[in-house]
Amino acid sequence: MLKHLLCLLILTCLMTGLYAQQREVTGKVTGTDGVPVPYATVQIKGTNKGTTADQNGNFRLVVEGNNPILQVRSVGFTLKEIPVGSGTTFDVTLTQDNKNLQEVVVTGIGIKREKKALGYAVQDVKGDDLVRASQGDALRALSGKVAGMQVVGSGGTPGASTFIKLRGTNSLTGNNQPLFVIDGIPVDNSQNYSGDPADADNNLLQGATNTNRGADINPDDIESISVLKGPAAAALYGIDAANGAIIITTKKGKAGKVAVDFSTGISFDVVNRLPKIQKQFAKGSGGVLAPFTSSNRYSWGPNVDTLFWTGTPNEYDFHGNVVGASDPNANIKFVPYDNTKDFWKTAVTYNNSLSFTGGTEAATYRMSVSHNYQNSIVPLQYQQRTAIALAGQLKISEKIRTSANLNFNVTNGSMPQNGSNLSGIMLGLTRTPVSFDNSNGGLAADDPRTYLFSNGLQRSYRNGIYDNPYWTINKTPYTTAVNRIIGSLQVDYDFIKDFTLTYRIGTDVYSDNRHQYYEIQSGAYNGGRLFDDRYTYKSVNSDAIVTYNKQVSKDFRLNLRVGNNLYSRKLDELYVQGDGLTSPGYDNISNATVQKSYNYVTPYRRISLYFDANFDFQSMLFLEVTGRNDWSSTLPPGSNSFFYPSASLGFVFTELGALKGGKVLSFGKLRLSVAQVGKDPGAFVTKSFSVPTTYPDGYTTGISFPYDGKGSFSLDNVLGNPNLKPEKTLSYEAGLQLQFFDNRFGIDATGYHTKGTDLLVRAPIAGSAGYQYVNLNAAAIRNNGLEITLSAKPIVGKAFTWDMFVNYSMNRSKVLALAPGINQVTVNGFTGTVVAHLPNEPAGIIYAYGWQRDSQGRIVVSDNADDFGYPVVSTVQKRVGNPNPVFLMGIGNTFSYKGFSLYTLVDWKHKGDLWNGTRGSLQAIGTSYYTINRGEQHVFPGVMGHLNDAGEVVHNEGGAEKPGGGAVNTTSVPLDEAWYLGNGGGFGAQTETFIDDASFVKLREVTLSYDFPTDKFKNSRFVKGVTVTGFARNIIIWTPYKGIDPETSLTGATNAQGIDYFNIPGTSSYGLNFKFKF
């Protein structure tokens, strides 16, 4: 018995000693701001044993010995040593090391990576930088802040769409905007157009402005944005990220007492540029005044210096009729009206945001609510957005963690009429002659006397043909109401050592209800029209990911992920239209004598498998290899599977012994990557379908069925092609990153080459097939580019610091091939002037008729008697403009002195053309400032000649035609009304004259803020901090463009960039914002 007890005692002592020598410890690594530090290295000092924290900073490690010491390190932070003692749980706080890079960015499928470890270009924008100047649209707030990103706004009204493109055009007919991801969930950024679907292309050239859904994102809820620029960076997201990805991480809760942040601000928007209008000539033709009652549309009347008012008020003008000096009723000297300037108002924006954060080490939360109300520069127009955000994280156990995010947005407002539209605001406004007052003496915008006569007819300078802008804003309202929910749930389970299972599911759901009403007498639809257009969108995305994260040895770390993605979405459009209204003022579909409806349902499903393998050698050499296989519902079974790989290498050569710890070169890295990505075709292109029959008449949309109680279907004119393949883009990228003098100065340069093949185009086929077109994988395009980011801290002092950055990028695209029999792919445009893709040309050029030139490129000036001395118009279309900029540059500076901070952002776009269709039209109408030279003599530079019957340039000499151009033109001809109504104006045969250089340099943002010292609030029970910021946006613009703000696009967030045809102007903004911390 004693022997057994002795054995038991010895065994117990051995077990106790073994426990003391080997046990498990857990913990979490965070920065001083409470944000988890992903993938920190946790090692037992003096050994090669250790582990790596997961992406949430959590770690688990078995330690040995009685007094082990943990060494915790991560790139950008100082090393921290922690004696283990008898503890088992450790919360480790690392301090940033300003001598090293400290950026952690979110990459593909929500992976947090040290920027040091990446082999491709990623640029990060902090949430504070987005809201610094209180830009309510998160997309526009990115302007100038990311190299390689082009941001184009469509106008200055609230809700105007924004176009974003990374590294050029990759698809000729498909989407070229990047994928948007919020907290790991892909979200929609479509700009769905409204209008008669039978006239789809024209709906982008006329009607009301529509918003792309990226504008629903509340900037106040954004923690950071990571921009994945190339295919290698975004490859794990698959098809949708073929154009790169914008990864948005929203704000999360932090452990600690409840913290309350409240901000309130007000800003004022004013029009920053308008077309130049002449104020010298009145309504009429041939120098003869046209009376108010005339429908004459021109301003080729008499000089206003010769005009008077009669002084007898009438409904056209309270000053009376306009008459010449010889009229016996001439009593009051006429003063020209400035309709274009006087119409716009100063818009006011109110922005309020309230958030609560707090929690414990096990559970954190954040709740926020914000309200943004924007009046428009267009009277009676507005937009408001209410956003509610909820975020929570819960540590259920040492092995299981969950997080959830929910964003709810309600956006509604009214949008202005735009573009080639007889009810368009800019069209009616700028064509109005200086002899007519649209406002009828400055009456209120909603006063019926501005736009109605007492007999109920429209009051306008053409008596209803072009709508008075005040009629437009009162009688043709376009309203939208959007309800949107974006939510996600994620669970992380450390099921065995070094292995983590992550499951994430999320959804993006919205309804967009639009309503348009055109009153009877409206210029666009004289008989009246109304429509209801309802878009319903729903997507569901889920990822199941297994991660293996292992510190294999002291020098080698392996991180491997294998995942499955399930994605589905459905867009459902229900459109109901009524024409021929019976009674004015009755906005109801039952008031229409002709009704038609459409229902378009576009489903999509995709199943994917992917892997991501990362190899880290001595924190010096980083290799990443990825692969993804997608199965898409838009391609036929059997040919709907496609695989695309990527590989990238990052080499931090300053970790080499000879370079490590250098005083001049503090960091240096070389990046190399190669990737191939795919993009599947849209829905319903592999099969042939029947569609409702439409008979156009060449002038209107014609007759559409159902009609007169009868239905009809006919084959679509496009033959389905079951052999279609995904478009492919192959990309090569190389980069160099250098930091000098303890990271005070840095440069990051990236060069890339991409080639897209099997691009989808619509090709004509023989009519005997019963169709007109077929979709083919036949085109190819190439993009070459350079991106350079400079960063510097020129001055770092105790009281004063100066930080700056420069983002530079250039891209050169070239269309390599189209399908056989196709010489152009038209994106959109007008008769004779289009944005198109042509072989051996840059993507999306402006293609139109221009001046005929000889073999030396000189303009041919006619030597024929009927148009002697005037330029000759070419008989074939050609490239007349290139909207693609030569380069983009953003320059930011921050000057900080004690509590003051001054920030400036200059945005520079060099070259890139716009078709100034507004100027062309107004030169024909006669209201353009550029017709002030009317009647003057002018010698057109060029050589004398004309085109013979064969279309060849010849010139008259000695009574015969000789080849080529002749003598230099010296003939002076008048710039008269006939010239401007012909080829000198926008209604003529040529467009080249109206291609303007749209370069600009903008003072994009200026802010001056003051942080009140915290000691001012040390005795306060509630207030912990106050910041006051004054800001301004777009207050200085230098541009050679002869129109509105050149940052404009008639078609909004589409591929047809480069068109300005009565677009709504841009704005400058001034405001004040207050932030309080409680």
Sign of CA dihedral 703, 705, 706, 710: positive
pLDDT in the model for residue 55: 72
Residue 6 has pLDDT above 80, yes or no: no
- Kindly report, residue by residue over 962-974, the tens digit of the pLDDT: 999 999 999 999 9
**Burial class of residue 264, CB neighbours in 10 A (0-12, 13-18, 19+):** middle
Residue 29 has pLDDT above 50, yes or no: yes
- Kindly report, residue by residue over 133-169, the tens digit of the pLDDT: 999 899 999 999 999 999 999 999 999 999 999 999 9
Q: Rounded mean pLDDT of 424-450?
A: 96
First-to-last alpha carbon distance for the chain, in angstroms, is: 70
Between 359 and 17, the more confident residue is 359
Task: Band the pLDDT of 286: cuts 50, 70, 90.
Answer: very high
Task: Band the pLDDT of 19: cuts 50, 70, 90.
Answer: very low
**SS percent in the chain: helix, strand, coil, step 5:** 10, 50, 40
- Kindly report, residue by residue over 695-706, the tens digit of the pLDDT: 766 555 567 777
Taking domain 179-271+346-432+468-686+721-844+882-912+1000-1077, whether its CATH number is 2.40.170.20 is answered by: yes
Which positions ≥6 away from 807 have C-beta within 8 Å?
A: 123, 144, 145, 146, 147, 787, 788, 789, 888, 889, 890, 891
Domain edges within the chain: 20-94, 179-271+346-432+468-686+721-844+882-912+1000-1077, 919-997
pLDDT in the model for residue 559: 95
Residue 382 DSSP code: E
Q: Rounded mean pLDDT of 793-816?
A: 95
In whole angstroms, what is the distance from residue 115 CA to residue 235 CA? 17
Say if residues 796 and 790 touch (Cβ distance below 8 Å): no
Task: Band the pLDDT of 352: cuts 50, 70, 90.
Answer: very high
**Burial class of residue 87, CB neighbours in 10 A (0-12, 13-18, 19+):** exposed
- Kindly report, residue by residue over 242-279, the tens digit of the pLDDT: 899 999 999 999 888 899 999 999 999 999 999 999 99
| Other beta carbons less than 10 A from residue 507's beta carbon | 17
pLDDT in the model for residue 705: 76
Q: Rounded mean pLDDT of 434-460?
A: 96
Which positions ≥6 away from 484 have C-beta within 8 Å?
A: 213, 216, 407, 408, 409, 410, 411, 508, 509, 510, 511
pLDDT in the model for residue 16: 37
Residue that the structure tokens 């104020």 belong to: 279
pLDDT in the model for residue 662: 85
Q: What is the pTM of this model?
A: 0.89
* CATH code for the part of the protein at 20-94: 2.60.40.1120
DSSP 247-283: EEEE----SEEEEEEEEEEEEEEEE-----B--SB-S
Residues in the chain: 1078
Lowest mean pLDDT: which of 30-39, 43-52, 199-208, 944-953? 199-208
Q: CA of 538: how far to CAs of 64, 87, 161, 514, 532, in Å? A: 53, 49, 21, 18, 20
**Burial class of residue 602, CB neighbours in 10 A (0-12, 13-18, 19+):** middle
In whole angstroms, what is the distance from residue 231 CA to residue 626 CA? 11
In whole angstroms, what is the distance from residue 292 CA to residue 982 CA? 26
Among 885, 662, 886, 892, smallest CA distance to 790 is for 892
- In the beta sheet, which residues pair with residue 249? 224
Return the CA Rg of the chain: 33
- Kindly report, residue by residue over 856-905, the tens digit of the pLDDT: 999 999 999 999 999 999 999 999 999 999 999 999 999 999 999 999 99
Task: Band the pLDDT of 717: cuts 50, 70, 90.
Answer: confident
Task: Band the pLDDT of 76: cuts 50, 70, 90.
Answer: low
pLDDT in the model for residue 702: 67
In whole angstroms, what is the distance from residue 930 CA to residue 926 CA? 9
DSSP 630-695: EEETTS-TTS-EEEEEEEEEEEEGGGSTTTTT-SSEEEEEEEEEEEEEEE---TT-SS--EEE-EE
Lowest mean pLDDT: which of 828-837, 1038-1047, 1067-1076? 828-837
In whole angstroms, what is the distance from residue 467 CA to residue 525 CA? 11
Domain 20-94 and domain 179-271+346-432+468-686+721-844+882-912+1000-1077, same fold? Reply is: no
Between 97 and 668, the more confident residue is 668
Q: Rounded mean pLDDT of 105-110?
A: 85
Q: CA of 364: how far to CAs of 357, 393, 524, 825, in Å? A: 8, 5, 55, 53
Residue that the structure tokens 């059997």 belong to: 638
389: its two tokens: 């955000």
Q: Rounded mean pLDDT of 792-808?
A: 94
H/E stretch holding 923 reads helix 917-925
In whole angstroms, what is the distance from residue 511 CA to residue 509 CA? 7
